[in-house]
């Protein structure tokens, strides 16, 4: 899930995570395109990203631009097009499996989870479920992965399944997946402290979509307050509780994002509509 988890990976872990791919500033053209997406000018942004794809000097540079294109479509909530470009990036990493198997399989899983994150945020729950499963299945193919990394992929999958179940209104199924996610988390050693922060995000998200707004508020307030997606969830919760001023404060914080990733791709357009 990364997609929701990868947005906030911490440095202090028991083993080195593979480097995050495609999150650098890139060329000036890429930076301009990112800014256009933030301004809601997606068509103009994608014209620039396409130029980067067409002129890429290396396969890695092309994949990096394709990932940025995927996020551009994410800013418009387009699950299908996001998935198409994330698949192109996955195809690149397939070519790297022999040379760098540890990084390649990890990145393949990350890209699939990014597509999944965009799809669930867009409301395409079936596509999200398919992408999350693909991300899990790719990630665990990493050879000789540390135990914590395998648990991380299981945790991400259970986390995603719980959120999807909540979106479908299935409380019992959501609770089962929450329990499974908790069990995976408790088995972790070096990664447990890092990943613990994502658990109240899970329980708060589920509570919100199942209509338990007081629990949603309490849990989301324990989640990462610097995550713009969390600010959107808090805003939604405050709205349900009739606290419109507090909701607006959250939306304004979310709108301030300058990220070009799944949380920002949801938060920026969503908050723009809320604050007018």
Domain ranges of the chain: 6-218
Residue with the two structure tokens 């597509």: 115
Mean per-residue pLDDT of the chain: 92
**High-pLDDT (> 70) share of the chain, %:** 91
Phi first, then psi: give them for residue 227, nearest 5 degrees: -85, 120
**High-pLDDT (> 90) share of the chain, %:** 89
Residue with the two structure tokens 């610097």: 226
pLDDT digits (tens, 9 = 90+) for 165-179: 999 999 999 999 999
For residues 102 and 114, the answer to whether their CB atoms sit within 8 Å is no
pLDDT of residue 170: 98
Provide mean pLDDT across the span 20-38. Answer: 80
pLDDT of residue 56: 96
Provide mean pLDDT across the span 255-263. Answer: 97
Which one, of 5, 130, 134, lies nearest residue 79 by Cα? 130
Provide mean pLDDT across the span 121-149. Answer: 96
pLDDT of residue 276: 86
Phi first, then psi: give them for residue 271, nearest 5 degrees: -70, -35
pLDDT of residue 24: 44
Q: What span, in angstroms and rounded, lies between the C-alpha atoms of 53 and 164? A: 33
Q: Is the pLDDT of residue 1 over 50?
A: no
Contacts by 235-240, CB closer than 8 A, 24 or more apart: 235/271, 235/274, 236/208, 237/204, 237/208, 237/213, 240/208, 240/213, 240/216
Q: What span, in angstroms and rounded, lies between the C-alpha atoms of 254 and 229? A: 7
Global pTM value: 0.90
pLDDT of residue 17: 42
Superfamily of domain 6-218, CATH level 4 = Tetratricopeptide repeat domain (1.25.40.10)
Structure tokens at 266: 């949801």
Q: What span, in angstroms and rounded, lies between the C-alpha atoms of 165 and 158? A: 10
pLDDT of residue 187: 97
Q: Is the pLDDT of residue 28 over 90?
A: yes
Q: What span, in angstroms and rounded, lies between the C-alpha atoms of 16 and 265? A: 28
pLDDT digits (tens, 9 = 90+) for 84-105: 999 999 999 999 999 999 999 9
Provide mean pLDDT across the span 230-244. Answer: 98
pLDDT of residue 21: 52
pLDDT of residue 12: 27
pLDDT level of residue 155 (50, 70, 90 thresholds)? very high
For residues 120 and 165, the answer to whether their CB atoms sit within 8 Å is no
pLDDT digits (tens, 9 = 90+) for 196-219: 999 999 999 999 999 999 999 999
pLDDT level of residue 22 (50, 70, 90 thresholds)? low
């Amino acid at each position: 899930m990364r997609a929701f988890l990868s947005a906030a990976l911490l440095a202090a872990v028991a083993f080195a995570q593979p480097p995050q791919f495609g999150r650098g500033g890139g060329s000036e053209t890429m930076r301009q395109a990112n800014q256009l997406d933030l301004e809601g000018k997606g068509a103009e942004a994608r014209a620039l990203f396409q130029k980067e794809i067409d002129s890429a000097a290396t396969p890695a540079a092309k994949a990096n631009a394709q990932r940025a294109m995927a996020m551009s479509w994410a800013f418009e909530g387009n699950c299908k097009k996001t998935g198409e470009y994330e698949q192109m990036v996955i195809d690149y990493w397939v070519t790297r499996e022999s040379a760098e198997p540890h990084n390649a399989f990890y990145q393949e899983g990350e890209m699939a989870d990014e597509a999944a994150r965009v799809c669930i945020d867009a409301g395409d729950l079936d596509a999200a479920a398919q992408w999350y499963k693909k991300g899990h299945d790719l990630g665990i193919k990493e050879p000789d992965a540390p135990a914590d990394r395998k648990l991380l992929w299981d945790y991400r999958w259970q986390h995603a399944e719980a959120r999807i179940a909540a979106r479908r209104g299935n409380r019992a199924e959501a609770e089962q997946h929450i329990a499974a996610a908790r069990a995976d988390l408790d088995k972790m050693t070096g990664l447990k402290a890092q990943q613990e922060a994502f658990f109240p995000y899970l329980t708060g998200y589920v509570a919100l979509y199942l209509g338990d707004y007081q629990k949603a508020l309490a849990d989301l307030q324990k989640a990462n307050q610097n995550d713009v997606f969390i600010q959107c969830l808090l805003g939604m919760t405050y709205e349900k509780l009739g606290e419109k001023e507090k909701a607006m404060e959250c939306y304004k914080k979310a709108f301030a994002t300058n990220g070009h990733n799944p949380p920002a791709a949801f938060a920026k357009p969503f908050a723009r509509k809320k604050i007018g």
